């Protein structure tokens, strides 16, 4: 079974149990969390970092397994430096425009290649219709990893801390964890944030929390 990166893990958990693969395309909170995962992934890979003003700057090369992000990586290098929050807002609210379509298409293609997607047949008014969905066992494997690190005193990695925060912000965490488990998760994350030796990813996590809350609020106002 191919190991998944942060972006793939978030997408798998968010879309598991849904009727198609359009959730991260059509729902602003999930789109914002997906975009946030993209930036954190590139930071963990050493392709991006934050400067002293918390602006995103390009550093190393992109790994081979995320080459579909090259267009974004090049755009960041060619653009005037902007803060992480600005990038996330801009891409979230323009996710479906043609120039940004590569993010969604590339991610879905990578999930197919990693064996996370299955095709099922569903009976409708005009016969059977085929559709794609996330394999439940792939989401279950990611959830068990989160549980092991947060609730069983395992080593808490930056990737799992960011992933769980994104799932909480998009409302997906409660699908997988009980109220007791979520309480323990919150306490562990609080300890992580209070760590004086916070890493680059933990700084990015704090930045993302702020902007994703704003995106959720804005999307709620737009729908009311």
Q: By C-alpha distance, which of 12, 36, 9 is closest to 205?
A: 36
pLDDT at 217: 81
Residue with the two structure tokens 């963990």: 44
Domain boundaries, position 138: 6-219
Task: Report which secondary-structure segment, H or E, holds 107.
Answer: helix 101-113
Whether 167 is covered by a domain: the verdict is: yes
pLDDT at 87: 94
pLDDT at 72: 95
CATH of the domain at 99: 1.10.3630.10
Whether 1 is covered by a domain: the verdict is: no
pLDDT at 197: 47
pLDDT at 180: 83
- Report the DSSP beta bridge partners of residue 83: 55
Whether 215 is covered by a domain: the verdict is: yes
Whether 224 is covered by a domain: the verdict is: no
pLDDT at 187: 81
Total domains in the chain come to 1
pLDDT at 207: 81
Query: How many angstroms separate the first and last alpha carbons of the chain?
Result: 43
pLDDT at 221: 58
pLDDT at 161: 85
Give the mean pLDDT per block of 10 residues along the chain (224 residues). 90 92 88 93 92 91 89 94 93 91 94 94 73 94 90 78 89 88 80 62 78 80 54
């Amino acid at each position: 079974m191919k190991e998944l990166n942060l972006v793939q893990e978030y997408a798998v958990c968010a879309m598991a149990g849904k009727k198609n693969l359009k959730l991260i395309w059509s729902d602003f909170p999930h789109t914002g969390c997906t975009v946030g995962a993209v930036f954190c992934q590139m930071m963990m890979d050493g392709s991006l970092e934050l400067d002293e003003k918390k602006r995103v700057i390009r550093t190393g090369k992109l790994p081979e397994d995320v080459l579909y992000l090259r267009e974004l990586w090049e755009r960041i290098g060619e653009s005037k430096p902007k803060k992480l929050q600005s990038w996330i807002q801009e891409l979230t609210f323009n996710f479906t425009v043609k120039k940004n379509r590569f993010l969604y298409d590339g991610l879905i293609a990578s999930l197919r290649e990693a064996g996370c997607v299955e095709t099922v047949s569903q009976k409708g008014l005009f016969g059977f219709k085929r559709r794609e969905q996330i394999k439940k066992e792939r989401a279950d494997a990611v959830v068990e990893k989160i549980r092991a690190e947060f609730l069983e005193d395992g080593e808490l990695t930056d990737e799992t801390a960011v992933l769980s925060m994104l799932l909480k912000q998009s409302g997906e965490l409660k699908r997988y964890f009980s109220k007791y488990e979520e309480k323990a998760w919150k306490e562990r994350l609080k300890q992580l944030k209070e760590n004086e030796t916070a890493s680059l990813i933990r700084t990015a996590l704090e930045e993302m929390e702020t902007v994703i809350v704003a995106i959720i609020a804005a999307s709620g106002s737009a729908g009311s």
